[in-house]
């Protein structure tokens, strides 16, 4: 095993360990796991949040919105690539959650956009928020702030994208 390969495996191991501490949430038949945001870089005024949403119900649901006192405004975004350029777009009408399906919000795809942070996200802190589902209702959650280097298997650098 060469050193680079070992480093990658070690990094993956750390991410897995982080996931194991994550608090899980449940509202109705919806389970939310591994909520995280990346620690803010100096001068960064926005932050992206990620999570896994598992809809165990036999009917589709929808993540309508996220609210949080940590930012002036919170939006649901997705990333679209046009002519080789990745751009973020607000998701109209929320994120669809098909029956019996897990939807992942992850770097390079769906994410929760915290706009104009009231204070920078600090490594190790938590960010309280409320998720609003169309059928399952509201649930209070906490996003865990992970180090700026945290990048679960994606080469896509969200932080470099323009709003
Ligand atoms: Cu965004």
Domain CATH for 69: 2.60.40.1890
Q: Ligand 1 mean position to 30 CA, how many Å?
A: 23
Grade residue 163 by pLDDT with cuts at 50, 70 and 90.
low
Q: Ligand 1 mean position to 160 CA, how many Å?
A: 11
Residue 29: inside a domain, yes or no?
yes
Q: pLDDT value at position 46?
A: 96
Q: Ligand 1 mean position to 78 CA, how many Å?
A: 7
pLDDT in tens, 122-144: 999 999 999 999 999 999 999 99
Residue 134: inside a domain, yes or no?
yes
* 126-133 vs 95-97, strand pairing mode: unpaired
Distance CA 39, CA 127 (A): 11
Residue 5: inside a domain, yes or no?
no
Residue 67: inside a domain, yes or no?
yes
Q: Ligand 1 mean position to 121 CA, how many Å?
A: 16
Residue 82: inside a domain, yes or no?
yes
Q: What is the mean pLDDT of residues 12-31?
A: 67
Long-range contacts of 106-110 (CB under 8 A, 24+ apart): 106/50, 106/152, 106/154, 107/48, 107/50, 107/151, 107/152, 107/154, 107/156, 107/158, 108/79, 108/154, 108/156, 108/158, 109/78, 109/79, 110/76, 110/77, 110/78
Q: Ligand 1 mean position to 159 CA, how many Å?
A: 9
Q: Ligand 1 mean position to 113 CA, how many Å?
A: 5
Q: Ligand 1 mean position to 109 CA, how many Å?
A: 9
Q: pLDDT value at position 97?
A: 98
Q: Ligand 1 mean position to 36 CA, how many Å?
A: 14
Residue 57: inside a domain, yes or no?
yes
Residue 6: inside a domain, yes or no?
no
pTM (2 decimals)?
Answer: 0.79
Q: In the chain, what is the straight-line distance between the N-terminal and C-terminal CA atoms, in Å?
A: 41
Could you tell me the residue range of the domain that residue 66 belongs to? 24-150
Hey, which residues does 145 pair with through a beta bridge?
37
The total of structural domains in the chain comes to 1
Share of the chain above pLDDT 90, in %: 74
- The DSSP symbol for 158 reads G
- pLDDT of 153 higher than 90: no
Distance CA 111, CA 124 (A): 20
């Amino acid at each position: 095993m060469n050193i680079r390969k070992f480093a990658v495996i070690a990094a993956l191991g750390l991410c897995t360990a982080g996931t194991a501490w994550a608090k899980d949430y449940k509202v109705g038949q919806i389970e939310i796991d591994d909520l995280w945001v990346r620690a803010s870089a100096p001068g960064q005024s926005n932050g992206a949040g990620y999570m896994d949403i598992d809809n165990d119900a036999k009917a589709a649901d929808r993540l309508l919105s996220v609210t949080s006192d940590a930012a002036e405004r919170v939006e649901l975004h997705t990333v679209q690539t046009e002519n080789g350029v990745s751009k973020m777009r607000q998701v109209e009408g929320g994120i669809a959650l098909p029956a019996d399906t897990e939807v992942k919000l992850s770097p390079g795809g769906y994410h929760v956009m915290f706009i104009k942070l009231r204070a920078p996200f600090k490594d190790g802190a938590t960010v309280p928020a409320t998720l609003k589902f169309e059928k399952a209702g509201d649930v209070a959650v906490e996003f865990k702030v992970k180090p700026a280097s945290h990048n679960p298997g994606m080469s896509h650098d969200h932080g470099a994208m323009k709003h």
